[in-house]
Amino acid sequence: MSTTLTPPRSSLRGPARVVVRQHRWALWIAGGLALAAVIGMIALALRSSYVAEVFAGTGCRVDGADGNRPCMQTARNYLDSMVTYRRMFDYVATALRTLPLLVSAFVAGPMIARELESGTFKVSWAQSVPPARWLAAKLAVPAVLLLAGVSVLTAVLAWARSHADTPYPGQWHDADVFSTSGVVPLAHTLFGMAVGALIGLLVRRTLLALAASALATGAVVAFFTYWRGELWPRLTISGPTLNAEEGMWWVETGHLTSTGARLPQNTCDGAVTMAGNARCLADHGITGHYLDYHPASHFWPVQLVETGILLALAALALALAFRVLRRLHG
């Protein structure tokens, strides 16, 4: 009687399994950092809430209007602690904003260009793995892991911010808040991967591909950071005085003349006295002011437009990457 032993089947097969084995240390390090960030954000949120509860129990106020010296010192200590916690959340948000650059550089350099430069890709292709499948596995495995990780990190960051009782809440339109909320972080991550794959195939030199991909992705991230306000039609209020509301994103403000022409906000900044300022306003025919803004209800429209543009660019980069692969290697 003979017994046939069947080896256990791995959940990952072929090129995907090779990708995980090749970059297992990078995956372990990234997973450890993500876990540490999640634990740290939860701890900071709980600590912030505790400090706020303790301060509320003292009966002190942060405005110092009571004139009580010990209470003023207590309020100062409380505000200093809240500033520290806010800064820690900002550090996490900044790390998440730079993640697409790191992903793009890693995909372009260590994952794609290094194999093309060293010739190790031939091992996979010699084992009946076609080039298209090789590239698809190179991108699919990190895409799944990154999308899952970024989703968890942004969700925990949003929860931590909402539960951190701080007198310095972030506005929805702040770069660190907007870029790490909703679906935009996922779109930036996918875009970084696609650009990294394309540049890695084009350059085929590890360090050069790494640097070029990081620069290209960083340029796109910077573009959306500074021009995000133009992605959706703005609302405008005008008049002798501007009644701004809470939560407005001030995109542009300035002066209006009697003919309706717009002048920059700093038109009369050279006037050093109130009389000089009034004379400057009269000389330019300024009769009022205007404010172009986005209300809080524009959060999702701007998010979806930016996401759509990034996904379209990512799809174009991927299509070009597979085209380059077919042209070079059949």
Q: What is the pLDDT of residues 199-252, one digit of tens each?
A: 999 988 889 999 999 999 999 999 999 999 999 999 998 888 887 777 889 998
Q: Mean pLDDT across the stretch 254-278?
A: 82
CA-wise closest residue to 330 among 166, 132, 143: 132
Q: Report the sign of the C-alpha dihedral through residues 174, 176, 180, 184, in that order.
A: positive
pTM for the full predicted model: 0.85
Average pLDDT over residues 114-118: 81
Q: Comparing 215 with 124, which gets the higher pLDDT?
A: 215
pLDDT over 90 for what percent of the chain? 40
* Angle formed by the axes of helices 69-106 and 206-227, nearest 10°: 130
The answer to whether 191 touches 307, Cβ cutoff 8 Å, is no
Query: Residue 125: pLDDT band by 50, 70, 90 thresholds?
Result: low
Asked if 313 contacts 224 with a C-beta cutoff of 8 angstroms, the reply is no
* Residue 14: pLDDT over 50: yes
Residues 158-204: pLDDT tens digits? 998 887 756 667 789 999 999 999 999 999 999 999 999 999 999 88
Distance CA 293, CA 227 (A): 13
pLDDT at 127 over 70: no
Domain ranges in the chain? 16-231+298-329, 249-294
SS (H, E, C) the chain: CCCCCCCCCCCCCHHHHHHHHHCHHHHHHHHHHHHHHHHHHHHHHHHHHHHHHHHHHHCCCCCCCCCCHHHHHHHHHHHHHHHHHHHHHHHHHHHHHHHHHHHHHHHHHHHHHHHHHHCCHHHHHCCCCCHHHHHHHHHHHHHHHHHHHHHHHHHHHHHHHHHCCCCCCCCCCCHHHHCCCCCHHHHHHHHHHHHHHHHHHHHCCHHHHHHHHHHHHHHHHHHHHHHHHHCCCCEEEEECCCCCCCCCEEEEEEEEECCCCEEECCCCCCCCCHHHHHHHHHHCCEEEEEEEEECHHHHHHHHHHHHHHHHHHHHHHHHHHHHHHHHHHC
Higher pLDDT pick, 184 / 135: 184
Tens digits of residue pLDDT in 277-303: 788 888 888 888 889 999 999 999 999
Q: How far apart are the two ends of the chain, measured CA to CA in Å?
A: 50
Q: What pLDDT, on a 0 to 100 scale, did the predictor assign at position 49?
A: 86
One-letter amino acid at 215 equals L
* Spatial CA neighbour of 291 closest among 228, 237, 329, 328: 237
Provide the pLDDT for residue 2.
Answer: 43
With pLDDT > 70 as the criterion, what percentage of the chain qualifies? 87
Asked whether residue 3 carries a pLDDT value surpassing 60, the answer given is: no
pLDDT at 9: 45
Reported as half-sphere exposure (CB side, CA atoms, 13 A), residue 36 has a value of: 7
pLDDT bracket for residue 261 (50, 70, 90): confident
Please say if the pLDDT value at position 133 is more than 50: yes
Q: How far is CA 106 from CA 11, 22, 141, 280, in A?
A: 25, 13, 13, 56
Mean pLDDT of the chain: 84
